[in-house]
Structure 1
Amino acid sequence: MLSCEIICVVCVDRYKAVHQYTNQGIRVGEEGRILLKTVDLTLSFGALRAVDGASIDVPERRITLVIGPNGSGKTSLINAISGIYKPSSGRVIYDGMDITGLPPHRINELGIVRTFQIPQPFLRLTVLENLLVSWRGVPRTSLLRNMGRRWVSEEKEAAEYAFKVLRFLNLDRVWDQYAYQLSGGQLKLLELARALMNRARLVIMDEPIAGILPTLAHDIFSYMRKSVSELGITILAVEHRLDIALKYVDHVYAMHRGKIIASGPPETVVSNPLVIESYLGG
């Protein structure tokens, strides 16, 4: 649980913070500029090429979706981008920097946050506490400095910012509930909230609506769309439920057997004969 000092700060400023949401602190990028790109990216496991020469562009302040049947290489692609696996060859370029093969913590420090198909919050922490441990606003400091008044001020800033994020995603009503008490849809939103709390510039999401009822699934994609349009973040997502996802995304890449087989607007990609054949087992 949180210390008494933090709880006091939260209680005093809760309603003030909830009603003062702005996008302060989240860098708003230039819409349409390429923020992330992969160049001939390959990821091999022995003789198996999970990703085979994949090149994609992810425009800033857009939602880019990667689709394909099971085993097509979608998750392997975002694992190679986010540093979970080191690419066998090719390059990953982020904001003009070559980040190929960097470990996940270094990639996170650059503003890239990865979420997973199965949410991974701290189950025995509250919703608010899960956000506070994701806070990027407080720099690393010495123990002596953290014991002073500045520490209390920084914790207050973090708590206020957390409630802004919670209200933005309609999670402020459950701010004091433990993560294990949340529904599946709320857990998915908590993952997005933690990414926003981390001041993410690019959020990479693996099946953000997996296992979620259709109504809640639409809500989650609506909040993803809202985060892009109002906060200026960029999203790269993998998703199977195309009947829901396609209406919310800007650009689609289709994969099959590790390769990119089609790209373009959603309606163009899903009507591509190669994409249709890949889903039918071709």
Structure 2
Amino acid sequence: MGRIAIVPTLCTLGNAACGFTAIMLATGAGLASNWPNESALYAAGWLIFAAMVFDMFDGYLARRSRTASQFGAELDSLCDAISFGAAPGFMLLQLGSVFSNRLAGEIFLLIALLYMVCAVLRLARFNVQSSLDAKSHKTFQGLPSPAAAGCLAALVLLRYSPMPYPWLPAEVREAVHWLAPLGATLVALLMVSRIPYPHLATRLLHRRRPFTEVVEVIIAGFLLVFFKEVALLGLCWLYVLAGPSMLLVRRKVPSSVETTPTISALER
């Protein structure tokens, strides 16, 4: 094994540290044993997003410094399994703890296991299919595990946010407890699907971006500053639904083109 790139590796380990701490908070173990459950879950949700930031920069720094290696790729996936596979599963279990009946607990457990298994399979498939070439980092096949984890973390943040959001009915926040397992099932299946998704980190960290993308980033930043948890929830789920939506559009366009005589004649 060659030399290990210090800065990218520290970023990767920071990802794992955030995920491990999120698990501690979600389960009420260790230092989190004296924390109120709501505060602990809220902090765990933010740690998932902190792990996403570390995960975004470790690969970028490795490629920019030309220190990308198989060691770094394997370490990244192991850390992702903690932060984006196990931690959201434990958070989901805690959301289900508000239901007193045994059946609800079993359903939440099965969905949490499904989510974790799909996340691990997604990471294993990515390891097999990816290469160290930067060109292979423009799109994903299947929903990326960080995005899936972000969707669940955003639900937790909305549920336990200290912000009042007077225009948001209390029933919407309460609905998170039964929306979360449905959302977890959806993102779990999307992770192991073949639906293409854009690599947002590559686009955001690219030096040259179209003006429209710059405007989109500014708007997203504005929403995050003023609406925080609500904006995070909307942006995460917008990305999740964008994959299937774009796939449907692509499938409809060729069929409509084939049924147009003028275009068919031109193609001949």
Q: TM-score w.r.t. structure 2 length?
A: 0.26
Higher relative contact order (CA 8 A, sep 6+): 1
TM-score normalized by structure 1? 0.25
**In proportion to residue count, which structure has more strand?**
1
